Structure 1
Amino acid sequence: MLRKSFLLMTAIAAFTMNASAVQIEVPKGQPPVPGADASISANAYENYRHINKVAEHEAELYSQFVKSNPKNPPSTFDKLNLEHPGFAKALELANYSQSTVVLIHEGDKNIRISVPNISFLGDVVESPSGKEGPFFAVRNLSAFLVVGPPHGKALDTYSESKGKYMYPGLRNTSWKFMSNNARVMYTEFTPNDTKTAYGITYGGWVNTEDPYQDQAPEVVMSNYIIPSIESLAGLDSYSQIEHWGNFHYRIPKTAKLVSEAVENERHEVRTYEDTGVKIRVIRSAIRSKETDNTLIKAPIIYYLHKYNDLETPTQYAVVWNNGIAGSLVDAYKPNRESYLRHVVKDSVYYYSYRINYDESKTSYTHKQLRDMIEYVGFDDAARLRKEPQWREKGSYKEKLENSSVFIPWYMEWVKLLTQ
């Protein structure tokens, strides 16, 4: 039933999706952009959910394992599976279909991109001069991403092809591509509304058995990363920044603060309201030995249970704001009650930002509200991100740490690109 409903919703989405396709144009005499596919919708990145046959198979195996190995007495997770048949499979499919969002909004940097892949760990590397700003690197089990100042010169020795392209909203655009045992693609660009230039590198192996992402890096770069590139300047037209101690976040300009309260003796809550929108920003002190609530699996389990949305096409993403990671839950139901939830932490507090809204009653679109809730930050982000930002615990973390191939390969590339 879950699979059938998912396929039905996918088919409906295909007909309701923005009809415009990815149109990467190239100047006369330039080679085609590697991986570009005009059959893919230009906004496919917005609600990306990657579920392939391998993910389906792995999720089914996980579901069967959970059913056949109940704990005695039953754990909370066992009880959820008994109460909601299909919970374990929905949880695993949500885990495989995560995406990654990177926002940089420090100094003259003001950009957002998204990547249709999970991210387990983030690193921040200062530029050699110290004047251009840091590089932000994100990795998973089979691919890596580097975002920051232009850094394409490092690829000149290794790239087998390069060229220029044109895409709406961007200028001074170019690409370089290397294909060997692994594939690495680089793009450089300047958003139209700024003088700041950026570079993005995405690389990894082509693995058709990868449940997280089985597309080649150049396909991901050309059809999902490049179309997602956008300046954050547009947020100023409809939202404003609010401060709460070390933390800052955005709310709609027309939203009103209706209450400030303390709930359950530890949750400080700010509530805002606007037509068709209710916002709650919650701050709570981090307790010792407390489970890290910003790890993506915690909100996946919580919201699957709370709303019983086993078949709703909810999107889950790790959002990296200036190198600090948070978790996003986006359950969008066109013209119905929908919700967004973003949780992040510094060294003292958890911050949970929640928006309940009905798109048929508000003047804001789903994308506007999502772009707004993603934008959070800390005044001392440079201090907070000095340590690697882990997003996973347990077997994934161990596998990544113990990799005899990927970690050295990743570190060599980061070192080369940030020289």
Structure 2
Amino acid sequence: MKLKSTLLGLAIALAFTMPIDAAQYTVPEGQPPVPGADASIPDNAYQNYRYGEALNANASAIILARKHIYEMLDKQVEENKRSIEEAERWKKAHDKSMDISSHESTVILLHEGEHRAKMTVPIVVTRSFYKEAHKKNEVSSFAAESSVVAGLVSSSESFVDDAAYKSAKQKGAFNYPGITKGYWSITDTYSSENTPLMMAAVTFDKQPNHNYMAILGHKNHPITDKIERTMANFVIPSLQPIDDVDRTSDAVTWGNVTYRLPKGMQLQSEMKEGPHAEGRVYVGPDMRLVVTRGPIQRKDHPMVAYPKRVFKDLIYRSSKLLLQNVPIQSAMVLNNGIPTYIMDQYNPGKLSRILHLIQDDEYSYVMVLTYKDDKAKYNHLKLRNMMEYLDFKNAKELRSKTEKNKEISKKDI
């Protein structure tokens, strides 16, 4: 959805200079402007998982990792354990893999009962935590990396009545299309730590009786400019209800996993290769979806296994699953707290592809949607919304396994 508006008091001054699709906000009379709002950033910037060329990982860690890999490969060449050609191929593969992973984002989806919304945040998630509070009819999904924590909370109760919002020294209200009510707040410390948090509570036009809150914090970071800029220009614009997925797609269950099939597509064939590998092929007007599953090859935590699969199976082996010479956007996707990995090769006006890697406790799945942009029944963003959306029959069991060793501490949230 388009989120166009202008900062209170600046509307006239900016009317002739601001980008048409700038991510800006109107605020009620007497309210402060939304901190961090930047008129030069488009309101749909979140739609590109890479957020332009923003680096969503620790730059120094990437440099050190690259140096270590290069030194290791060069040493192997010197010891005749690897050819020069093979070493160069590994270097190129590692460079491409690190570029993809260091620019990836995290997508958080909630879709249980009346909890139906999503958000996107530019962090490379390494830990996750999902929580239910039945008394409040509330669910929350959190993601974190070394210095950042982000989350989406859904509740039938108003967050404006929450003690955290009431006690915040910096807070205000905002408006823009698609949202009936919007509030923001910033706290300098959280849980007695120097962890500034910015929160945005919203009520969608399409869900007038429900409330959502996006949370973003930087641990041990005394300056809040970065979280303000990220929240105002990327996270808040990305907040959206996901009720439309039922209108544009059908739910298809295969074993433990339920995925979405764009309406208009039909099952063309089923295939089986050996006792364990099998697949399904769906076709529709200028669209083709192939879903395959096989035994899990790597027992690592999914957030570790996905990057390994990307490197070894797709990048290093130059897999035909990826379109050649088409940019790759990637994101870790948390469907009700369960991590999967999506790669988006959007090629405007041309052949495009979305690839989704999925792993439960029994199978490893690969979903590949290939379509002709501008000719398929649905546009790129609607197709990606369908591809992101997954259900798991044993969701609670999967969450308990994935969170066991990588759980966010209570202080993080």
Residue 306 of structure 2 is aligned to residue 296 of structure 1? yes
TM-fit CA distance, 1:32: 0.9
TM-fit CA distance, 1:221: 1.1
TM-fit CA distance, 1:351: 2.2
Cα distance in 1 between the residues matched to 2:305 and 2:44: 27
> Residues 316-335 of structure 1 correspond to what in structure 2 (within 5 A)?
316-335=330-349
Q: Which of the numbers 123, 144, 149 marks the counterpart of 1:139? A: 144
Whether contact under 8 Å (2:299, 2:305) holds in the other structure is no
Per-residue Cα deviation, 1:318-350 (whole angstroms, up to 9, x for no partner): 000011110111112222222211122222222
Cα distance in 1 between the residues matched to 2:402 and 2:303: 17
Cα distance in 2 between the residues matched to 1:79 and 1:264: 34
Judging changes above 3 Å, is the alpha-carbon distance between structure 1 residues 225 and 207 closer, same or farther for their aligned structure 2 residues?
same
Per-residue Cα deviation, 1:196-238 (whole angstroms, up to 9, x for no partner): 2112221114879xxxxx9711211111111001111122232
Name the SS of the counterpart of 2:385 in structure 1: helix
Per-residue Cα deviation, 1:90-117 (whole angstroms, up to 9, x for no partner): 2222221110001111011111110011
TM-fit CA distance, 1:370: 0.8
Which has the larger displacement, 179-188 or 239-248?
179-188
Judging changes above 3 Å, is the alpha-carbon distance between structure 1 residues 221 and 352 closer, same or farther for their aligned structure 2 residues?
same
Judging changes above 3 Å, is the alpha-carbon distance between structure 1 residues 256 and 337 closer, same or farther for their aligned structure 2 residues?
same
Residue 257 of structure 2 is aligned to residue 247 of structure 1? yes
Match of 1:354 in 2: 368
Cα distance in 2 between the residues matched to 1:268 and 1:81: 34
Q: Tell me which amino acid in the other structure corresponds to 1:121.
A: R
- TM-score of the aligned structures, taking structure 1 as reference length: 0.79
Structure 2 residue runs of 5 or longer lacking an equivalent are 1-18
Match of 1:6 in 2: none
Judging changes above 3 Å, is the alpha-carbon distance between structure 1 residues 91 and 289 closer, same or farther for their aligned structure 2 residues?
closer
Q: Tell me which amino acid in the other structure corresponds to 2:387.
A: I
CA RMSD of aligned residues (A): 3.2
Q: Which of the numbers 102, 112, 117 marks the counterpart of 2:118? A: 112
Q: Tell me which amino acid in the other structure corresponds to 2:122.
A: P
Cα distance in 2 between the residues matched to 1:287 and 1:59: 26
Q: Tell me which amino acid in the other structure corresponds to 1:67.
A: Y
TM-fit CA distance, 1:57: 6.7
- TM-score of the aligned structures, taking structure 2 as reference length: 0.81
Number of residue pairs aligned between Structure 1 and Structure 2: 375
Q: Which of the numbers 55, 59, 71 marks the counterpart of 1:68? A: 71
Which has the larger displacement, 23-32 or 300-309?
300-309
> Residues 84-233 of structure 1 correspond to what in structure 2 (within 5 A)?
86-127=92-133, 129-150=134-155, 151=159, 153-156=162-165, 158-180=167-189, 181-194=194-207, 195-205=209-219, 216-233=226-243
Cα distance in 2 between the residues matched to 1:325 and 1:103: 10
Name the SS of the counterpart of 1:29 in structure 2: coil
TM-fit CA distance, 1:241: 1.0
TM-fit CA distance, 1:386: 2.5
Whether contact under 8 Å (1:272, 1:279) holds in the other structure is yes
Whether contact under 8 Å (2:115, 2:154) holds in the other structure is no
Q: Tell me which amino acid in the other structure corresponds to 2:235.
A: I
Whether contact under 8 Å (1:124, 1:386) holds in the other structure is no
TM-fit CA distance, 1:278: 1.1
Cα distance in 2 between the residues matched to 1:291 and 1:74: 30
Q: Tell me which amino acid in the other structure corresponds to 2:99.
A: L
Cα distance in 2 between the residues matched to 1:312 and 1:94: 13
Judging changes above 3 Å, is the alpha-carbon distance between structure 1 residues 141 and 103 closer, same or farther for their aligned structure 2 residues?
same
Residue 277 of structure 2 is aligned to residue 261 of structure 1? no
Judging changes above 3 Å, is the alpha-carbon distance between structure 1 residues 118 and 156 closer, same or farther for their aligned structure 2 residues?
same
Cα distance in 2 between the residues matched to 1:206 and 1:116: 19
Q: Tell me which amino acid in the other structure corresponds to 1:317.
A: A
Which has the larger displacement, 63-72 or 257-266?
63-72
Name the SS of the counterpart of 2:250 in structure 1: strand
Q: Tell me which amino acid in the other structure corresponds to 2:328.
A: T
Q: Tell me which amino acid in the other structure corresponds to 1:117.
A: I
Judging changes above 3 Å, is the alpha-carbon distance between structure 1 residues 39 and 373 closer, same or farther for their aligned structure 2 residues?
same
TM-fit CA distance, 1:172: 2.0
Judging changes above 3 Å, is the alpha-carbon distance between structure 1 residues 244 and 289 closer, same or farther for their aligned structure 2 residues?
closer
Structure 1 residue runs of 5 or longer lacking an equivalent are 1-17, 209-213, 391-396, 402-406, 415-419
